[in-house]
Amino acid sequence: MTEKRTVEVALGTSGMDERGRPVTVPLGVQTTELAVDEAPDLGGEHMLINIGPQHPATHGVLRLVVELDGEVVVRVIPHVGYLHSGFEKLGEYRHYNQIIPLTDRMDYLAPMSNNVCFALAAEKLMGIEITERCRVLRVIACEMSRIISHLVWVGTTGIDLGAFTPFLWLFQERERIYNLQEEWTGARLTTSLTRVGGLMADIPTGFEDRLRQFLKTFPVALDDTDRVLTRNGVFVGRTQGIGVLTGAEAINYSLSGPMLRASGVPYDVRKDRPYLGYETYDFDVPVGEHGDVYDRYLVRFEEMRQSARILEQALDRLPDGPINVDDHRVILPPKHAAMNDMESMIHHFKQVMEGVPAPVGEAYFPVEGPKGELGYYLVSDGTAKPVRWRVRPPAFINLAAIEKMSVGHLLSDLIAINASVDIVMGEVDR
Amino acid sequence: MNPSADALQRQFGAAIRRVTESCGDTIVTIDPARNVEILGWLKDAPGQAYDYLVDVTAVEYRDAELPLEVVYELFSLSRKAPLRLKVPLLKDRPLELDSVVPLWAGANWLEREVFDMFGVTFRGHPDLRRILMWETYAEGYPLRKDFPLRGRFSRSEQVRQALNANPEAHYSMDELHIAEAYHELPGDMRERLARGERGRIPEPESGRDD
Amino acid sequence: MGVTPHPTAAAGLELASPNWLTTKLDWLVNWARSNSMWPMPFGTACCAIEFMATAAARYDIARFGMERMSFSPRQADVLLCAGRLPFKLAPVIRRIYDQMPQPKWVISMGACASSGGIFDNYAMVQGIDTVVPVDVYVPGCPPRPEGLLYGILLLQKKIRGETLADPAIRVERSLDERGLPLAPERIDELSEPFGNSLHQTRSA
């Protein structure tokens, strides 16, 4: 305001009125000049627009019905259920080990964490104590899953906000983890890693070296992405102050995971309700302050670094020993025993044909999944198939808060907020 | 055993029907008529402070005589203590319960899902509509035990109903108000919404009871 | 073939079809179409992640001319249904298919899109071919990126075998008066359970 621009001198006016607000140039004959906010309201109606269910920025088949006043969001009504696959119903018709392949397909960005959570819930229900090697391997699986889920999140959030390159870099890192997952389980994505009482297979030879090699090169990719995004003017401008939720609101909306921690609530299931020996690992849980999209980005980014830290420790302490519990009612006998020894053959037959019966009871087991608190609630009536298999879906519950976060923001902010919730529709809709 | 179970029995007496433990979790079965009161006390009482609602769901047992139970999983962030509450609903009368959305906003979608999958109506819920199936889904409540795995209708009928559903339908009163799409709804639905009824899905034509 | 005159006949060339000119024109058109298909990614579930991996740097779908994803069906050539299709999503895919202009093809990626996959239940369409006509099925759960690329190459081979003279290829198959794409018996036949699905429907 202090230096006059040439154009103002030429026009003889600063473009601002005496209150410092910009002056509109009236079209047509008008005797008075109006400041912008005194101009008559054009009386526009609100628009109701439909985003999705097929839309590149909705991260899956989500439908948002948005009421807009110009570009400002007045109301957001999310419609979910476009990927409802009847998982919970299917679970009632499957043995416990047959449900494990189903769990891969819910949060398909981090399949091993679903597998581990279900196995832990079934083992809690059946009262089975797993071996130490299995425990450490499951920690490795969970943290690998956390990394790949957050890699997708950073990549796709970057795309939503206009940054395409980190997506390609981070997907290359994901391919490295996919190679490791494929070596271990045979599948890149639908891993079905765990079984009740153990794992499907031990890690192959050379796996530890290859994982350590990944951990050497992974921070390089993270640093590259950090350099490109974290202090990028466009990224910061589009994410700071957007979609703010206070800690009390976040608790009331039952949010969990990075959504909750970015709002300042330090609840992490690994620290507060530890499982798999997490209390013996040395790692930090990043907690944000402002509860906006930028804080969620910072929390997830740092979580990836902490996961790498946990992976190093897990590799260092990986003990030798069996991966499966030594219980013939639960674990299939080795093939050579089943083919040669009558008792093993009968155990094999009973487990495959009748499944493993769980005692009457129920169990809820939460883990810290990459999206939030993922919990499986199993109710058993003494048979081999659960009476009720409930998935506590973190993405579903986190998504419900989208209206609270978006009202008053612009439409492009709604896309950023939607990205920050980190939804995966397979888990939202089950 | 979570000490909250004893505190509940002292506070509410006969409304606490049963306290059990399973696999290390404490489960308290309560009277359906007082669920909001009991959950509110658990949330606000200073020694309890169950400020985090983990989950709301329902369980129907294979034994048809057992009641359908609505399950609330709570967690106290400050005391790091979990608690499970169960509310039994007898199946020979309408499945209705008071909504806990005034206590926890997170219960909104969770109760809608219980309604969609089990047919439990939550009184006082701000917007009780189906959430995972489409609003006019006529086959029933999928997670009930008398609902067959593949659904009640034939596959071609399911495809026909699905393809004839309007993908642009707006069914909350908010959206209808904005879009003035009210006149596009079928007549019986207009009447239901105008009466302020939520969640009375027309019975499937086969007359089967869900 | 030969039901309608080949486009070269409109130029007044009284040539019998097929001939050297018509085959060359067909070759040119098919070459152009097959090497620059713009996919409409209808990604729903896990297969969509493998599709994204196919589009990313390691497997690079751009080698086949398909890197330009068209999120508007009006500009798309091939509808790539990657993932399971629940009944709630069926009218959406049908509407998107109807919005695509001819020539259009459909690739059904994954077991769930091809047959309902592991989800033989109340909520899942048992194969998108009960809702839209499909050209290539890519089995797998999820198919590896190489598998999807093989499916794309098969579609390219199919396109190279087409001819402009046959209008039956390009007929717009819309829904009939009942609102169904096929006869109900045919839909039931396509949706019939098979394999393990026959035996895994007992709850206790």
* Structural domain for B50, as ranges: 4-131
Residue B86 has pLDDT above 80, yes or no: yes
Residue B209 has pLDDT above 60, yes or no: no
Tell me, what's the pLDDT at C202? 75
Q: Which of A337, A367, A405 is nearest to A103 (CA)?
A: A367
Note which residues in 64-103 of chain C have CB less than 8 A from chain B: 87-88, 90-92, 94-95
Q: Which of A189, A155, A169 is nearest to A426 (CA)?
A: A189
Tokens in use for C7?
A: 């486009």
Angle at A88 between CA C94 and CA A327, to 5 degrees: 135
**Cβ-based contacts of B80 with chain A (< 8 Å):** 272-273
- On the CB side of C20, CA atoms within 13 Å amount to 0
Mean local confidence (pLDDT), B41-68? 93
Query: What is the rounded distance in angstroms from the CA atom of residue C61 to the CA atom of residue C80?
Result: 13
Query: What is the rounded distance in angstroms from the CA atom of residue A206 to the CA atom of residue B99?
Result: 55
Residues C78, C40 contacting (CB under 8 angstroms): yes
Q: What does the pLDDT look like over B44-56, one tens digit per residue?
A: 999 899 999 999 9
Which one of B156, B160, B171, B210 makes the best mutation probe of the C interface by having the most chain C beta carbons within 10 Å? B156
Q: Would an 8 Å CB–CB cutoff place B171 in contact with chain C?
A: no
Tell me, what's the pLDDT at A51? 87
Query: What is the rounded distance in angstroms from the CA atom of residue A53 to the CA atom of residue C86?
Result: 12
Mean local confidence (pLDDT), A107-119? 94
**Cβ-based contacts of A175 with chain C (< 8 Å):** 53, 56, 58
Of B192 and B26, the structure prediction assigns the larger pLDDT to B26
Cross-chain CB nearest to B159 (options C88, C90, C201):
C90
Q: Is residue B143 part of a domain?
A: no
From the centroid of its chain, how far is CA C141? 18
User: Chain B closest CA to A385's CA: distance in Å?
Assistant: 11
Kind plus residue range of the DSSP H or E element containing A305: helix A293-317
| Residues written for chain C | 204
- Phi and psi of A13, rounded to 5°? -145, 150
Domains of chain C by start residue, with CATH: 37-190 (3.40.50.12280)
B16-22 and A72-79 beta bridge pairing: unpaired
Q: Is residue B196 part of a domain?
A: no
Residues B61, A387 contacting (CB under 8 angstroms): yes
Q: Is residue B155 part of a domain?
A: no
**Cβ-based contacts of C123 with chain B (< 8 Å):** 133, 142, 151
- Phi and psi of B52, rounded to 5°? -115, 120
Regions of chain C where pLDDT drops below 70: 1-17, 204
Ramachandran region of residue B118, left (φ > 0), alpha (ψ -120 to 50) or beta?
alpha
Q: Is residue B101 part of a domain?
A: yes
Query: What is the rounded distance in angstroms from the CA atom of residue C139 to the CA atom of residue C154?
Result: 13
Q: Which of A430, A396, A412 is nearest to A78 (CA)?
A: A396
Residues A109, A86 contacting (CB under 8 angstroms): no
Query: What is the rounded distance in angstroms from the CA atom of residue C96 to the CA atom of residue C109?
Result: 17
Query: What is the rounded distance in angstroms from the CA atom of residue C79 to the CA atom of residue C133?
Result: 11
Of A5 and A62, the structure prediction assigns the larger pLDDT to A62
**Cβ-based contacts of A170 with chain C (< 8 Å):** none
Q: Would an 8 Å CB–CB cutoff place B163 in contact with chain C?
A: yes
- Sign of the dihedral defined by the CA atoms of residues C142, C143, C148, C151, in that order: negative
- Kindly write down the DSSP assignment for every residue of A182-243, as one continuous string: HHHHS-SS----EETTEESSPPPTTHHHHHHHHHHHHHHHHHHHHHHHTT-HHHHHHHTTSS
CATH number, domain containing residue B110: 3.30.460.80
| Average pLDDT of chain C, as a whole number | 87
Query: What is the rounded distance in angstroms from the CA atom of residue B23 to the CA atom of residue A213?
Result: 40
Mean local confidence (pLDDT), A322-342? 90
Query: What is the rounded distance in angstroms from the CA atom of residue B7 to the CA atom of residue B19?
Result: 12
Tell me, what's the pLDDT at B168? 72
B165 confidence band (pLDDT: 50, 70, 90): confident
Residues C18, C165 contacting (CB under 8 angstroms): yes
Angle at A424 between CA A61 and CA C117, to 5 degrees: 70
Q: Would an 8 Å CB–CB cutoff place A323 in contact with chain B?
A: no
Q: Is residue B61 part of a domain?
A: yes
From the centroid of its chain, how far is CA B67? 14
Tell me if residue A78 falls in helix, strand or coil. strand
Q: What does the pLDDT look like over A209-233, one tens digit per residue?
A: 999 999 999 999 999 999 999 998 9
Residues B59, B68 contacting (CB under 8 angstroms): yes
Tell me, what's the pLDDT at C102? 87
Tell me, what's the pLDDT at A244? 92
Tokens in use for C90?
A: 């069926």
Residue B61 has pLDDT above 90, yes or no: yes
Name the most confidently modeled range: A120-124, A171-175, B121-125.
A120-124
Q: Which of A148, A198, A116 is nearest to A366 (CA)?
A: A116
Q: From C175, which residue of chain B is nearest by alpha-carbon distance?
A: B163
Q: Is residue B199 part of a domain?
A: no
- Phi and psi of C105, rounded to 5°? -135, 165
Q: Is residue B72 part of a domain?
A: yes
Q: What does the pLDDT look like over A42-83, one tens digit per residue?
A: 456 778 888 878 887 668 899 998 888 888 888 888 999 999
Least confidently predicted of A85-99, A281-295, A349-363, B178-192: B178-192
Query: What is the rounded distance in angstroms from the CA atom of residue A89 to the CA atom of residue C95?
Result: 29
User: Chain C closest CA to B49's CA: distance in Å?
Assistant: 39
Which one of A364, A365, A385 makes the best mutation probe of the B interface by having the most chain B beta carbons within 10 Å? A364
Tell me, what's the pLDDT at A368? 95
Tell me, what's the pLDDT at A390? 95
Tokens in use for C187?
A: 């839909």
Q: From C56, which residue of chain A is nearest by alpha-carbon distance?
A: A168
B52-59 and A388-392 beta bridge pairing: unpaired
Task: Give the total number of structural domains in chain B.
Answer: 1
- Kindly write down the DSSP assignment for every residue of B24-93, as one continuous string: TEEEEEE-GGGHHHHHHHHHHSTTT---EEEEEEEE--SSTTSPEEEEEEEEETTTTEEEEEEEEE-TTS
List subunits contacting chain B, requiring 3 or more Cβ pairs under 8 Å. A, C
Tokens in use for A48?
A: 């109701």
C105-109 and C78-82 beta bridge pairing: parallel
Query: How does B68-95 read in b/e, with b if 16+ C-beta sit within 10 Å?
Result: bbbbbbbbbbeeebbbbbbbbbeeeeeb
β-pair partners for C79: C40, C106
User: Chain B closest CA to A252's CA: distance in Å?
Assistant: 5
For chain A, report the end-to-end CA distance as a whole number of angstroms: 57
Q: What is the number of H-type helices and E-type strands within chain C?
A: 7, 4
Tell me, what's the pLDDT at A267? 93
Query: What is the rounded distance in angstroms from the CA atom of residue B209 to the CA atom of residue B146?
Result: 9
In this structure, how many other beta carbons lie within 10 angstroms of the beta carbon of residue C2? Answer: 12
| Average pLDDT of chain A, as a whole number | 88
Say what the ipTM of the complex is: 0.85
List subunits contacting chain A, requiring 3 or more Cβ pairs under 8 Å. B, C
Q: What does the pLDDT look like over B188-207, one tens digit per residue?
A: 766 766 665 544 444 444 43
- Interchain contact, B51 vs A251, CB within 8 Å: yes
- Kindly write down the DSSP assignment for every residue of A102-149, as one continuous string: HHHTTSTTSHHHHHHHHHHHHHHHHT----HHHHHHHHHHHHHHHHHH
| Token pair 């627009």 in the structure block, residue | A49
Q: What does the pLDDT look like over A386-412, one tens digit per residue?
A: 999 999 999 999 999 998 999 889 999
A8 confidence band (pLDDT: 50, 70, 90): very low
Q: Would an 8 Å CB–CB cutoff place C72 in contact with chain A?
A: no
Query: What is the rounded distance in angstroms from the CA atom of residue A112 to the CA atom of residue A369?
Result: 10
Q: From B152, which residue of chain C is nearest by alpha-carbon distance?
A: C122
Kind plus residue range of the DSSP H or E element containing B139: none
Q: What is the 3-state secondary structure (H, E, C) of A381-394?
A: CCCCCCCEEEEECH
Distances from the Cα of A366 to the Cα of A91, A178, A301, B75, B96, angstroms: 18, 25, 23, 11, 29
Q: Would an 8 Å CB–CB cutoff place A46 in contact with chain B?
A: yes
Q: Which of C123, C49, C45 is nearest to A88 (CA)?
A: C123
**Cβ-based contacts of B157 with chain C (< 8 Å):** 184
Q: What does the pLDDT look like over A16-37, one tens digit per residue?
A: 666 666 665 544 444 444 444 4
From the centroid of its chain, how far is CA A405? 18
Domains of chain A by start residue, with CATH: 1-40 (no CATH), 47-79 (no CATH), 89-429 (1.10.645.10)
B28 confidence band (pLDDT: 50, 70, 90): very high
Q: Is residue B21 part of a domain?
A: yes
- Interchain contact, C46 vs A385, CB within 8 Å: no
Which one of B103, B115, B132 makes the best mutation probe of the A interface by having the most chain A beta carbons within 10 Å? B132
Tell me if residue A375 falls in helix, strand or coil. strand
**Cβ-based contacts of B139 with chain C (< 8 Å):** 122
Residues A184, A199 contacting (CB under 8 angstroms): no
Query: What is the rounded distance in angstroms from the CA atom of residue B135 to the CA atom of residue B128?
Result: 10
- What is the maximal distance between C-alpha atoms in chain C? 73
**Cβ-based contacts of B159 with chain C (< 8 Å):** 87, 90, 125, 130-131, 180, 187
Query: What is the rounded distance in angstroms from the CA atom of residue C111 to the CA atom of residue B176?
Result: 38
* pTM of the model as a whole: 0.86
Cross-chain CB nearest to C122 (options B149, B166, B167):
B149
Residues C86, C125 contacting (CB under 8 angstroms): yes
Ramachandran region of residue C140, left (φ > 0), alpha (ψ -120 to 50) or beta?
left
In this structure, how many other beta carbons lie within 10 angstroms of the beta carbon of residue A163? Answer: 18
Mean local confidence (pLDDT), A315-341? 91
Tokens in use for C138?
A: 């890519």
B74 confidence band (pLDDT: 50, 70, 90): very high
- On the CB side of B123, CA atoms within 13 Å amount to 10
Of A105 and B127, the structure prediction assigns the larger pLDDT to A105
Tell me, what's the pLDDT at A276? 94
